[in-house]
Structure 1
């Protein structure tokens, strides 16, 4: 399947959900380093942290951890102020910037202070609403006198209008939005507690695992579980919510099943994918394997539910988000009392997903082998792409290659179609797209090609001034909306795709 194919039914709704999820997670993802920093400080310095466990409790450790025997004394040290003020304000600033640039970030931060002070609890949900909302209001207010200000008065008008709007929105957030968002937060928290206490939280995997396969993993984890989990961790010292989506076990089990019982290219590439997913924490690497055999979503659900159930039984969780979802990040975020339960949740979820996936893969093994013998191999996504490329059908890059080669033979190359900027785009712009960009960058370097830039970006940050955009199939429609004038290439697997060789050949022909 390539970018020239018609969009599948329901693609519009899927794209809409992906765009909303990307916007929500886009406010959290750039600030994950701050969440990890808060988690490290919490793990080390709070009264139940690692240093306390080791018996090292000097005054400076107690000061950083905010130790106090007086229950009325709060927000001392670093732990409390960081979760109450720093993290929500970073989210608000990022959301404001996404809507209205630097000015939107400033106004969103000002207004969010109102909801933080008014609520008195960590206001992640409030920051996600007020930050971009305040920026949007500021943008509309600025449009009223856009182009009508006399030269020399721009800075005066901008500063005072921003200050007035920001102050007004902070007051509104304090009295109106804070109580509403507090009620919503309390309701969501009570729902989570009910699911945990009723041992029903594993049912969340029925929605989480299929959502991940549709590339909503960042939206689910950083848009939902990270804010709720951080609030819970600030009270209980850990949260199970950090491991519902980030557990690397289900993906490892599926990839291991392909490595043992699979056939063709998927079997050959599975061991490398295991290393990238388990150690590197890039879960997107196993999504195409599930899409190649959609029934494998059952294995993902079974593995995910097993991992959640294990953490429920052992009362285990993480202090901070495990991002990326690597086993290294998971172990680093686990408090001492939860380390056993966390490790078992990864092992058990991988074992269950491996067993279920093995049954599914072996059931279709004979059919897959027959397809390989006939040279069709329609069950394997990479082989489909290779066959399409070899036959010259349904491949936009193949068509472009033919045109480019013909033009080059004539001694001229059309400037409008010359490729100088190649962008790998994914939901977050960090994990899988960075991996794909590295693979193609190395191929271009080996081919001796100069003057071509290969970068990775989030789809939300794409601009319509690039030449070629490479995305995974599920995300191509969204990329087209952001860059309608660019050439688009869809791949199944960022790690290995025959389309890369076509792109390299096309660029060579053009040069």
Structure 2
């Protein structure tokens, strides 16, 4: 239980970090495209258009992060204070202030929320606008000054220290060892934490100086997951074998890496295949001095190719191919060596894991046990179904699409959408999450009905839910 609590706290903290980056990925990609095309070593060098590169990375991207961080804590009001406070660290440092923005944004939102809580109820009618504008303005001005003089230089020093550490690891040829930590963490649904909370900010700074960064490839390489899914296609059994075909397409072309996590959770030894494939891919990238101009999101092969600067495509593709091959070989050995065992398919494994944790597999039972005042489950008392994942963009979007299709075929007119766990709307009636994220979803919206699934792509609970709603 203690280990589970620690993991949930890490996931929750990481979701705040990645949550500040994920909504702004389009801006990062725009910056990456402009950089790849128009800088001096780009595809079509253009000195005038290249002038956008520096202001975007120094001002636009950190301000977007700061605003998003403040908004996550206290809405638009918190976002405005957070963005203004972020301006202080931008001016107070000579490097792109991504880490500073990730600090000042939430801090600004938290402080204005803390001030409003005791003071706002005491403001007399007619003075609300005066209080709102001046309280936020004064706090933002103070925070910007403090950030410029104190926090900016401190964060810059920390940022330089982290950058130097990464440089030492790269120069020592030890970067492939990062896969020992990255691949297991991904399977525990910390992939967005690692990629968007840690690697992307460091990678953007490196790309600003050199036009590319290998850090964008450490977590996003689809090769390790593809190799494991290919092994299941050849040596798997039952549902795990048949579902691997569709999962490989969604993973490799769609870029939703979460789709292969249940296959590793079903047979944990396969984490060795992911680590081996990941390390091989990173080694190949470093040998060919390959990198990307910006973070690819989602981690699709199409996104990787689009973000690859001129002269790096061979290295990037070879890294993906090498990772796939090594991962496939290791996974094949593991699957073949267990062929005489009583092998579970992915649905059986999901049920077993739920049983071991004392969970009920029936949707109806899970509803009845979760909330006593629910007398029945039908289309009349369910208006909104929410799929939630850490970032609200990958696996949850896929699951929502599948359930919408099932609802449409069953003539069930209930809204189905997806979101990040931190943004679950208060009017959601049913919340569907992966089992590793359900506790966080329950803490966010305890009054809703919660369904845990093992595999967003092919869960028997979808059919059970459709059946219950039709009744």
The interval holding the TM-score normalised by the smaller chain is over 0.9
Partner of 2:39: 46
Q: Secondary structure in 1 aligned to 2:44?
A: helix
Q: What do you get for the CA RMSD once the two structures are aligned?
A: 2.0
Q: After the TM superposition, which residues 348-427 of structure 1 pair with which residues of structure 2 at under 5 Å, given as runs?
A: 348-368=322-342, 379-385=344-350, 394-399=360-365, 418-427=381-390
Equivalent position of 1:138 in the other structure: 112
| Structure 2 counterpart SS, 1:323 | coil
CA drift at 1:463:
3.4
Structure showing greater radius of gyration is 1
Q: Does 1:302 align with 2:276?
A: yes
Does residue 248 of structure 1 match 2:213? no
1:467 aligns with 2:435: no
Question: For the Cα contact (< 8 Å) 2:395–2:456, is it kept in 1?
Answer: yes
Structure 2 counterpart of 1:23, from 13, 16, 27 = 16
Q: Which residues of structure 1 form unaligned runs of 5+?
A: 1-7, 53-60, 66-76, 372-378, 404-411
| Runs (4+) off by over 4 Å | 384-389, 400-403, 412-417
Unaligned runs of 5+ in 2: 370-374
Cα separation, 2, equivalents of 1:21 and 1:288: 21
Q: How does 1:112-261 map to 2 (within 5 A)?
A: 112-261=86-235
Report the alpha carbon displacement of residue 417 of structure 1 after superposing the two structures with TM.
9.1
Q: Give the Cα–Cα distance (whole angstroms) in 1 for the partners of residues 67 and 333 of structure 2.
A: 48
Match of 1:323 among 284, 297, 301: 297
Does the 8 Å CA contact 1:89/1:109 hold for their aligned counterparts? yes
Aligned pair partner of 1:478 in 436, 440, 464: 440
Q: CA offsets, 1:457-491, max 9 Å, x none?
A: 11111134322111111111111111212121111
The residue that corresponds to 1:56 in the other structure is none
Query: Which residue is equivalent to 1:431?
Result: 394
Q: 2:49 aligns with which of 54, 61, 64?
A: 64
- Contact map agreement 2:224 2:277 (CA 8 A) in 1: yes
TM-score normalised by structure 1 residue count: 0.87
- Is the 8 Å Cα contact of residues 401 and 505 (structure 1) preserved in structure 2? no
Three-state SS of the structure 1 residue aligned to 2:437 is: helix
Deviation at 1:385, TM superposition (A): 4.9
Over residues 343-402 of structure 1, what are the superposed CA-to-partner deviations in whole Å (9 max), with x where a residue is unaligned?
Answer: 11100011111111111111112214xx5xxxxxxx33313457999xxx9224143699
Shift of 1:121: 1.2
Query: Taking structure 2 as the reference length, what is the TM-score of the superposition?
Result: 0.95
Number of the residue aligned with 2:372: none
- Give the Å deviation of 1:101: 0.7
User: Matches of 1:402 and 1:232 in 2, distance apart?
Assistant: 53
Is 1:11 the counterpart of 2:18? The answer is no
Residue 457 (1) aligns with residue 419 (2): yes
1:396–1:12 distance in 2 versus 1, CA, 3 Å: farther
Aligned length: 462
| Shift of residue 416, structure 1, vs aligned partner | 11
- How far is 1:12 from its partner? 1.1
In 1, the alpha carbon distance for the partners of 2:353 and 2:110 equals 45
**Alpha-carbon separation, structure 2, partners of 1:353 and 1:417:** 48
Contact kept in structure 2, 1:263 and 1:365, CA below 8 Å: no
Give the CA deviation at 1:35. Answer: 0.2
Given that residues 362 and 461 in structure 2 are in contact (C-alpha distance below 8 angstroms), is that contact kept between their aligned partners in structure 1?
no
Cα distance in structure 2, aligned partners of 1:501 and 1:384: 18
* Farther off after superposition, 134-143 or 414-423: 414-423
User: Does structure 2 conserve the Cα–Cα contact (< 8 Å) formed by 1:401 and 1:506?
Assistant: no
Aligned residue for 1:441? 404
**Change in CA separation of 1:281 and 1:413 when aligned onto 2, cut-off 3 Å:** closer
Work out the CA distance in 2 between the residues paired with 1:188 and 1:180.
13
Q: Check whether the contact 2:85–2:143 (CA below 8 A) recurs between aligned residues.
A: yes
Cα deviation per residue 1:210-232 (whole Å; 9 max; x = unaligned)? 11000010111000011000000
Q: 1:145 to 1:466 in 2, by over 3 A?
A: same
User: In the aligned structure 2, how far is the partner of 1:239 from the partner of 1:285?
Assistant: 26
Q: Retained in 2: the 8 A contact 1:104–1:136?
A: yes
Partner of 1:74: none
